[in-house]
A and B are shown apart, each in its own frame.
Chain A
Amino acid sequence: EVQLVESGGGLVKPGGSLRLSCAASGFTFSNAWMSWVRQAPGKGLEWVGHIKGKTGGGTTDYAAPVKGRFSISRDDSKNTLYVQMDSLKTEDTAVYYCTTDGTFDIWGQGTMVTVSS
């Protein structure tokens, strides 16, 4: 079964850090470009960033609001995608989804991140 499962969300104070994981199964993960997308409570969808697959060199790109604070990585041996989130702000509070970049046809269930003092 094709599946993405996120984990690692929770409550963190402003200025803190959190690392989210996304476990992939049922498709060739190493070749897949992968994105993180977030959705603040009651708001629309916002692309966070992506990482290219092995053939694309594994390079990353980020949305302006998170550039320099978030870092996306992958471990193809574990079929797992990560996002390291540092210097968190209250406006980073959202459900975070991992998804396949390009056609965005596979999505995880999402994990909630709350940044609050």
Chain B
Amino acid sequence: DIQMTQSPSSLSASVGDRVTITCRASQSISNYLNWFQQKPGKAPKLLISAASSLKSGVPSRFSGSGSGTDFTLTISSLQPEDFATYYCQQSYSTPRTFGQGTRVEIK
């Protein structure tokens, strides 16, 4: 199975900050990497697919990069509605493994 490791597991940031979350796969997954945002009590929401393709309707302050084993989600200027938990996930093979999540909290 492919293991997905996210870092950090949590972070505190202020509105307007630039935030970077990293995700590492235990083997190459090409660009088969999705990023999700989840708020309490809600279903996950797809932000980025294929490592860097922003889903329609998602603000352009979100961006993704990487290929192979190392990936990054960047929020260029954190907004109040961005405080949530973020997950990476590989769709290269089964089982479709998720990272453990990164909780973004208000500083």
Q: Please give the residue numbers on chain A whose beta carbons come within 8 Å of chain B beta carbons, in ascending order.
A: 35, 37, 44-47, 50, 61, 63-64, 97, 101-105, 107-110
Contacts and interface: CB of A to CB of B under 8 A. Distances in A.
A104 B91 contact: yes
The 3 closest A-B pairs by CB, nearest first: A107-B43, A47-B96, A45-B98
Interface of B: 1, 34, 36, 38, 43-46, 49-50, 55, 87, 89, 91, 94-101
Contacts of B46: 103-105, 107
Nearest to A106: B46
Contact of B97 (A35, A47, A97, A101): A47
B96 A50 contact: yes
Contact of B43 (A101, A103, A110): A110
B89 A63 contact: no
B76 to A, nearest CB: 22
A73 to B, nearest CB: 17
13 contacts: A35-B96, A37-B44, A44-B99, A45-B44, A45-B98, A45-B101, A47-B98, A102-B91, A103-B50, A104-B46, A104-B49, A105-B46, A108-B43
